[in-house]
Amino acid sequence: MNRRARLIAVLAALLAGAVGIVSSTQTWLDVTVADGAAQTLAVPGAAAVQVLAPLSLAVLALGAALSIVGRVLRYVFGALMLVIGGVLAALTGVVVFTLPVAAVAATVTTSTGISGAAVDALVAGIAPTPWPAATLVAWAVLLATGVFTLATAHRWRGTGRRYRTSASRGPRPDDQPLDAVDSWDDLSRGDDPTAPAAPR
């Protein structure tokens, strides 16, 4: 169960971060501009929420690192997930529930050259795609992952032997069979793991 808890937390964080990265490149909003031609502009997630891509990358990094860190950093990473998830959920929720002009202003300005308060008068309508809502679900998963990490981190097993130094492993009993990691460590120290043991 302890190993499974770590795996669940890592995979959930990676999933949330991946959804955020993909979502940042997808159309979140279709904005109709009353500029005579009544053109419709596609607003990607990265334009609607400008911190979406960088914070999603941070979530991916946290998820990957969570698979190898020790107990103290598990709590730190769990807390960071809650902070980042809370920020992204709040910003995404504003887009989902209020469709603010501010979320499309940068795209409208790039297309028309008009900025400031005049953008409000230029926007005739804003229609959402499913991406903002799907991304909000991902941030809910991230928040739950942060809580789950903080609640279970003390029960996780330590990192695998491959991440520990040979000195920290201590002597290996003579009756314990060699595995691939032990053999590699012996070779690294200049020992031949296939050589017969010296007589006592």
- The full set of domain ranges for the chain reads 2-159, 162-200
Q: What is the mean pLDDT of residues 111-132?
A: 89
* Residue of 95, 93, 102, 139 whose CA lies nearest to 123: 102
SS3 127: strand
Going along 10-65, which residue ranges are E strands? 27-33, 39-44
- At 115 the pLDDT is 85
pLDDT at 167 over 50: no
DSSP annotation of 37 reads S
Q: What is the mean pLDDT of residues 56-70?
A: 94
Q: What is the mean pLDDT of the chain?
A: 85
- Residue 113: band (very low, low, confident or very high) from pLDDT cuts 50, 70, 90: confident
pLDDT at 88 over 80: yes
Q: Which helix (H) or strand (E) holds 123?
A: strand 123-128
Residue with the larger pLDDT of the pair 166 and 101: 101
pLDDT at 18 over 80: yes
Residue with the larger pLDDT of the pair 141 and 155: 141
Side chain identity at 85, as an amino acid letter? G
Q: Bridge-partner residues for 29, per DSSP?
A: 43, 128
- Residue 162: band (very low, low, confident or very high) from pLDDT cuts 50, 70, 90: very low
Bridging pattern class, strands 27-33 and 123-128: antiparallel
* Contact partners, residue 71, CB within 8 Å, separation at least 6: 153, 154, 156
Instruction: Return the percentage of the chain with pLDDT > 90, whole number.
Output: 60
- Residue 163: band (very low, low, confident or very high) from pLDDT cuts 50, 70, 90: very low
Q: Which of 54-58, 121-125, 165-169 has the lowest mean pLDDT?
A: 165-169
Distance CA 49, CA 42 (A): 14
Bridging pattern class, strands 39-44 and 123-128: unpaired
CATH number for the domain formed by residue range(s) 2-159: 1.20.140
- At 156 the pLDDT is 86
Query: Which of 59-73 are b and which e, b meaning 16 or more Cβ less than 10 Å from the residue's Cβ?
Result: bbebbeebbebeeee
pLDDT at 86 over 80: yes
